[in-house]
C-alpha cells in the first residue's frame, strides 16, 4: 500500500543484488559461521596484491600467481575517512576481480561510467558472498581494499562461475564509495517564499507544512538538505525515503519512514514527477517535490491512497543511495 503511493507499479521492480556472479547471494555458498562473519585479517596473500591509479577509478592490479589462503584475507590499500562498514549496511562500491590461479580478469564494475553507474549492495547473506562481506566489514567508507578470497568463501563447491575452475581463489580490489545513511545529511537550504515548509520531528522525519495558497500548475522542486554524494543519473536505481501529503488538505497519504526500504529501485518505477525531480540531485539530499496531477497518478488518481485525479502532491524525499 505505502509502496504503491510513490511507485507506479510494485510488480516487476528490479532488486539490485550486486554485480553478476561474484557478488549476488544467489550464487553464494551455504553460510558457514567461520567464513561468513567477522572482519577478515590482513595476511601474506592480501599484502602481496597492489593496485595503482586514482581511487574510484579502474585500478591497475598486480599480484603473484598461486595465491591460496585458507580463509579470506584483506588489506586496506587506501584507508578512507568514513564510517566503518557493518553487517546489513547498504554499500556503494566498485571492484575488479581476477582468477587468482590464472590471473584472468573476471569482472569489472561500472566505476560511474555513463549508462552503467556504480554497484550498490546490501551487506548481508542474501546479497553478498561471505568473502566479500568479510573483506568489507570494519573497513571505513572511502577505502580501497585488496581481498584474496578462497573458493569456500566465494562460490563453494556446488557452483563454479564462468572463468573459474573448482577451488580457484578470487582476487578483488574494491573501492568503497559510500555507505547509505538512514536520512538525508548535508547543508541546509531555506525554503523559497510560498513553497511548502519542511521541519523535522525528533527522529529526523520530515514534516511538511502546505501554504494556504493555490498549488503551482507545474512541477516544482526545492532542496532542503544538499548532500555531498554523486548526482543521481538518468536510468539509475535509487534508494529513497519519503513522506507525502496532499496540497489540498495537508494530510499524509504516504510514509516510508514507517517501514523503510533497503533495496534501490529503478527511477522508471517512480511517479514521473518524482523521478524528474531527483535526477541530478546529490545523494544525501532531501528535496521537496510539488507534483501536479499529470505527473503524479493522472486523471484516475489513487482511490486506495485517498488521492483524486485533480490532487497536487507534495513529497519530502531523502535520497540515500544511487547506482
13 grid coordinates: 521492480
pLDDT in tens, 188-216: 998 888 899 999 998 999 999 999 999 99
List, in order of start, the domains of the chain with CATH numbers. 20-179 (3.10.50.40), 182-322 (3.10.50.40)
Helices (H) and strands (E) in the chain, counts: 7, 17
Residue 32 has pLDDT above 50, yes or no: no
Q: What would the mean pLDDT of 121-148 be, rounded to a whole number? A: 93
Exposed/middle/buried for residue 299 (C-beta within 10 Å: 0-12, 13-18, 19+): exposed
Q: Are the C-beta atoms of 219 and 291 separated by less than 8 Å?
A: yes
Percent of the chain with pLDDT over 70: 87
DSSP string, 144-206: EEEEEE-HHHHTTTT---TT--TT--EEEEEEEEEE--SS--SEE-PPPTTSPEEEE-TTS-E
Nearest to 133 by CA among 100, 88, 186: 88
pLDDT in tens, 219-242: 999 999 999 888 999 999 999 999
123 grid coordinates: 551487506
71 grid coordinates: 580463509
- Which pLDDT value is given to residue 227? 94
Whole-model pTM: value is: 0.75
Nearest to 120 by CA among 295, 263, 309: 263
d(CA 254, CA 257): 9
Residue 33 has pLDDT above 60, yes or no: no
- Which pLDDT value is given to residue 37? 53
303 grid coordinates: 482511490
Residue 29 has pLDDT above 90, yes or no: no
Q: What would the mean pLDDT of 32-45 be, rounded to a whole number? A: 72
pLDDT in tens, 255-286: 999 988 878 889 999 999 999 999 999 999 99
- Which pLDDT value is given to residue 158? 60
Q: What would the mean pLDDT of 133-137 be, rounded to a whole number? A: 96
Confidence of residue 125 (pLDDT cuts 50, 70, 90): confident
Q: 313-322 and 237-246: which strand pairing?
A: antiparallel
d(CA 323, CA 318): 15
What does pLDDT average to over the chain?
86
Residue 160 has pLDDT above 70, yes or no: no
* CA atoms in the 13 A half-sphere facing the CB of 85: 35
- Which pLDDT value is given to residue 57? 96
**Greater pLDDT, 198 or 34:** 198
Q: What would the mean pLDDT of 92-111 be, rounded to a whole number? A: 94
Exposed/middle/buried for residue 75 (C-beta within 10 Å: 0-12, 13-18, 19+): buried
Residue 8 has pLDDT above 50, yes or no: no
Nearest to 164 by CA among 107, 94, 95: 107
d(CA 161, CA 296): 43
- Which pLDDT value is given to residue 262? 78
- Which pLDDT value is given to residue 19? 47
Amino acid at each position: 500500500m505505502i509502496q504503491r503511493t510513490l511507485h507506479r507499479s510494485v510488480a516487476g521492480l528490479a532488486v539490485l543484488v550486486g554485480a553478476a556472479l561474484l557478488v549476488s547471494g544467489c550464487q553464494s555458498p551455504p553460510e558457514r559461521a567461520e567464513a561468513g562473519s567477522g572482519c577478515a585479517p590482513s595476511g601474506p596473500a592480501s599484502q602481496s596484491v597492489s593496485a595503482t591509479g586514482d581511487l574510484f577509478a579502474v585500478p591497475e592490479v598486480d599480484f603473484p600467481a598461486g595465491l591460496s589462503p585458507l580463509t579470506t584475507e584483506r588489506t586496506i590499500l587506501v584507508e578512507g575517512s568514513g564510517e566503518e562498514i557493518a553487517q546489513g549496511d547498504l554499500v556503494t562500491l566498485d571492484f575488479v576481480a581476477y582468477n587468482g590461479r590464472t590471473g584472468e580478469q573476471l569482472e569489472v564494475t561500472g566505476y560511474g561510467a555513463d549508462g552503467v553507474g556504480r554497484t550498490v549492495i546490501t551487506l548481508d547473506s542474501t546479497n553478498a558472498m561471505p568473502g566479500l562481506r568479510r573483506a568489507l566489514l570494519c573497513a571505513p567508507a572511502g577505502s580501497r581494499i585488496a581481498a584474496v578470497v578462497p573458493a569456500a568463501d566465494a562460490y563453494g563447491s556446488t557452483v563454479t562461475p564462468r572463468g573459474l575452475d573448482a577451488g580457484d581463489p578470487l582476487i578483488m580490489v574494491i573501492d568503497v564509495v559510500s555507505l547509505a545513511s538512514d536520512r538525508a545529511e548535508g547543508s541546509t537550504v531555506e525554503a523559497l517564499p510560498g513553497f511548502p515548509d519542511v521541519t523535522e520531528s525528533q527522529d529526523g522525519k520530515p514534516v511538511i507544512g502546505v501554504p494556504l495558497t493555490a498549488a503551482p500548475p507545474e512541477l516544482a522542486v526545492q532542496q532542503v538538505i544538499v548532500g555531498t554524494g554523486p548526482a543521481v543519473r538518468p536510468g539509475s536505481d535509487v534508494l529513497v525515503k519519503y513522506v507525502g501529503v496532499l496540497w489540498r488538505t495537508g494530510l499524509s497519504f504516504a510514509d516510508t519512514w514507517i517501514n523503510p526500504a533497503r533495496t534501490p529501485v529503478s527511477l522508471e518505477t517512480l511517479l514521473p514527477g518524482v523521478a524528474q525531480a531527483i535526477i541530478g540531485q546529490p545523494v544525501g539530499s532531501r528535496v521537496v517535490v510539488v507534483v501536479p496531477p499529470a505527473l503524479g497518478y493522472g486523471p484516475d488518481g489513487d482511490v486506495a491512497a485517498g488521492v483524486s485525479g485533480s490532487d497536487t502532491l507534495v513529497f519530502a524525499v531523502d535520497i540515500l543511495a544511487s547506482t
